[in-house]
Each structure stands twice: as structure tokens, then as C-alpha cells.
Amino acid sequence: MRTNPGSTGQARRCARTVSPMKLRLSQIFPLILMFALALATLWLDRLVQLPPVPGKDKLRHDPDFIVERFTVTQMRATGHPESSLSAPRMLHYPDDESTILEHPRFLQLPLDRPAVEIVGKRGIVGKDGDLVRVEGEVRMTRAADGEHAAMVIETSALDIEPNSKIARSDEEVVITEGANQLRGVGMVVNGESREFELKSRVQGTIQVKKRP
């Protein structure tokens, strides 16, 4: 670990490389992301439960229905929104029972925590809803609050297993919160244990406040 003191009145930064690394998920990656994506999967499962189209060739990978510019919102008993899932376009394919979302946006609005937004170029939901893949400039943002800066997690692809509350990525992952940043290749998030692991080539820049 290297520590480079800054000038008077400034915070100190330490840059370190660790491989592999585990951290408490509750400290840096909100558990709500996992539940948000699991809920999105349940919504999609309900949306695609339509009767099969008669005479449809099951060997062809053609959509049997397309939904344009849709938004699904879950409301609280008070009438206020709790979460929403939206996309300019959704396509369902009967040959493999997959569902494709173009530019999906998921928004979670918890009462006691900052809002969380998840976006990507494409979302893919498997036949049974047991695997969700978000790919293409995946960006997860936890809004800032009175104590913490906004947190942004960026990667190119993320696979989510809602039933086991596990999320995985084999790609580069960058986690930024204010002046703090973690970067690594490969990530596993466990929603049950509230831990995440960056698998390899991990580097971090942490801003440490100078003691008075």
C-alpha cells in the first residue's frame, strides 16, 4: 500500500492493488439492486404469459409480439411509486421463450434509502425467468444522500440469477463513489451474504480524510 499525503487541508489518498478482494456489500454495493432486478424479472414473467400464436413456426427466431414504449410501475399502499421498469421496446420470442428489452431502465424508490437506477443497452430474460442478462454500457447508480456521494457501478455485461440472488460479470467493473474508485475484472455479488468479490486485477483509490 502506498500513501501519498496531500497538501495542508486536503484529504490523503492511498492507491493499492489487491487480488482477489472481498468487501462487505452493505458498505459499498446496496442489496436493493438484487431485489430490484428480481422484481423486474417477475414483472416480465407476467407480461409474457400470453397464449401461443397458432401456426407459429417454432424453428424460426421471430417475435410473436412486440410492446412499444412501455412503463410498468409498482405502487405503495399510500399511492406513491415504489419502483418502475420501462423500455422503448420489448420483444418476446416463442421459439426459446426469451424476452428482449431494448434500452431498459429500472428505477427503485425506497423510502429509507437513496434511489437506485439501472440502465443498459439490452436486457435478456430467459424462459423461466431464472436468468437475466443486462448488457451494453450497464450502469447502476445509487443517488447521493446527506452522508455519501452518488455511487456509480459500470460494466459491459451483468448476469443476474434472481432465485439465488447472485449477480456475476466476467468483464471489467468500475465502482465510483465521489473521489473513491475500485476497478477490477470479474465480479460476483451475493445478495444473501451482502458481499461482493472483485476477481482479479483489482486496483483502488481511496480518499482518506485528514485527522484534525
pLDDT at 52 over 60: no
The fraction of the chain above a pLDDT of 70, given in percent, is: 67
* Residue 115 banded pLDDT, cuts 50, 70, 90: confident
How many CB atoms are closer than 10 A to CB 162?
Answer: 22
CB 188 within 8 A of CB 199: yes
Report pLDDT for 11. 38
> What is the reported pTM?
0.68
Q: What is the pLDDT of residues 10-36, one digit of tens each?
A: 333 444 444 444 444 344 344 445 545
CB 201 within 8 A of CB 13: no
Q: What is the pLDDT of residues 195-209, one digit of tens each?
A: 778 899 989 888 776
CB 188 within 8 A of CB 200: no
Helix (H/G/I), strand (E/B), else coil: 77: coil
Residue 2 vs residue 104, higher pLDDT: 104
CB 20 within 8 A of CB 200: yes
CATH superfamily of 2-50+62-208: Lipopolysaccharide (LPS) transport protein A like domain (2.60.450.10)
> How much is the average pLDDT of 97-104?
88
Q: 158: closest CA among 106, 199, 122, 117? A: 122
* Residue 34 to residues 73, 147, 191, 202, Cα–Cα distance (Å): 18, 23, 6, 23
